[in-house]
Amino acid sequence: MDFGVKGKIVVVTGGATGIGRAIAEAFHGEGAIVIINGRNQDKLDKACAELGQNAHGVVADLLTAEGAQTLADFAAGFGPVDYLVNNIGIFDVNDFFEVSDSRWTEYFEHNLMTAIRISRIVLKDMLARNLGSVCFISSEGAIRSIGNMTPYSVTKTAMLGLGRSLAELTRGTNVRVTNYMPGSTATESVQRYFEGLAKEQGKSVDDTLRDFYKEVQPSNLRRSLIDPAMHGRGVVQLMTNTAMNGVTHRADGGTIHSII
């Protein structure tokens, strides 16, 4: 299927690894010009070399307004941004009563403000041109609130609200804003987490995952981690479907008990 993105400019924040990398790869495979950012030039260079000749990376820290402008200016050098994927985020397992104010601030800065800063620039230009698509990569944790990951869940819930609010600004235009909500995915960071948990529990990774789905996510229908490539495909489909605006697309493996 031709998604009509050949030659289009796509920005994927934090696109060197994980789900962001899979999204960048999916767009690149469809012929798009893909821009990724990060804080390590070597990692960006390696990722771009692996993605292909139409992938370009720039060191730009979206924890600052200056970094967001650097990314926007770099992307503008290739042309107007057609697709913006807000993918940057952090997570860890923690005790709510032990999470400091400064750690809460870090969560809001990484999981929300990075997206706000770049969207404030790029979405404004899209509205002026009357064309474009923005997607926020949230998480099943936004709906299935997780007690031992409270800052993560709260900030991902806020992201859903942000995406819907910005979609309201597109009324009557050819600009769209959507949310994408993945479930537990076999990214490098998630795999490291389960490897560490397995070592701590004295079990194999397979046994640890089996027990995870039995005890922590018994409602999960897949009973396995999701291949990041599936999210890459899903985001391309979502962002190119002109019937989809202001919506949240679930890709959680059936964990959440809901028919919508």
Give residue-wise pLDDT tens across range 184-196: 999 998 999 999 9
Q: Over the chain, what is the mean pLDDT?
A: 96
* DSSP letter, residue 5: -
User: Are residues 84 and 119 in contact, defined by beta-carbon separation less than 8 angstroms?
Assistant: yes
pLDDT at 260: 80
Instruction: Tell me the whole-structure pTM to 2 decimals.
Output: 0.95
What stretches in the chain show pLDDT beneath 70? none
pLDDT at 257: 87
- Could you list the active site residues? 152
Neighbours of 204 (CB within 10 A): 11
Q: Which among 237, 64, 5, 2 is positioned nearest to 135, based on CA atoms?
A: 237
